[in-house]
Amino acid sequence: MPLRPLSLPDAEVLLDVHFLAPAEAAALLAELTATVAWRQEPIKLFGREVMQPRLTAWYGDPNATYRYSGLHLEPLPWLPALQHLRAQLEAATGARFNSVLLNLYRSGQDSMGYHADDEPELGPAPVIASLTLGATRTFRLKPRPGVPAQALSLPLPAGSLLVMRGETQQNWLHALPKTVRPVGPRLNLTFRLVGE
Q: Grade residue 54 by pLDDT with cuts at 50, 70 and 90.
A: very high
Residue length of the chain? 196
Domains in the chain: boundaries: 4-192
Q: Which of 4-13, 71-80, 151-160, 180-189 has the lowest mean pLDDT?
A: 71-80
b/e per residue, 81-115, with b = 16+ CB within 10 A?
ebeebbebbeebbebebbbbbbbbbbbbebbbeee
Nearest to 138 by CA among 160, 170, 165: 160
> Distance (Å, rounded) from C-alpha 48 to C-alpha 38?
23
**Which fold, 4-192?**
Jelly Rolls (2.60.120)
How much is the mean pLDDT over the chain? 93
pLDDT tens digits along 20-30: 999 999 999 99
pTM value is 0.93
Better-predicted residue by pLDDT, 170 or 1: 170
- Asked whether the predicted pLDDT for residue 1 surpasses 70, the reply is no
Q: pLDDT per residue over 29-50, tens digit each? A: 999 999 999 998 777 767 777 7
